[in-house]
Amino acid sequence: MNKTQYTTWIRQTLDQLKASKFNAVIYQVKPTSDVLYPSKLAPCSAYITGKKRGTSPG
């Protein structure tokens, strides 16, 4: 997905949420491409473990 496609997808998604009367949206920005929760798709953040990125917090 390129930038234009992504921007279009985001706008459509937000428009759908607005039409469905959602009053809050939480959007996660992942500058280091890691996560703060258990995931099979992305490595665990070093901010959680205090160790190397991708280290399981247990």
Using one digit for the tens of pLDDT, what is the confidence trace for 10-52?
999 999 999 999 999 998 777 788 888 888 888 888 888 888 8
pLDDT of residue 58: 75
Q: How far is residue 55 CA from its own chain's centroid?
A: 19
Question: pLDDT higher for 3 or 54?
Answer: 3
Residue 44 φ/ψ, nearest 5 degrees: -70, 140
**What is the reported pLDDT for 23?**
95
Q: Is the pTM of this model over 0.85?
A: no
Opening angle at CA 27, ends 56 and 54, nearest 5: 15
Burial zone of 44 (CB within 10 Å; 0-12 exposed, 13-18 middle, 19+ buried): buried
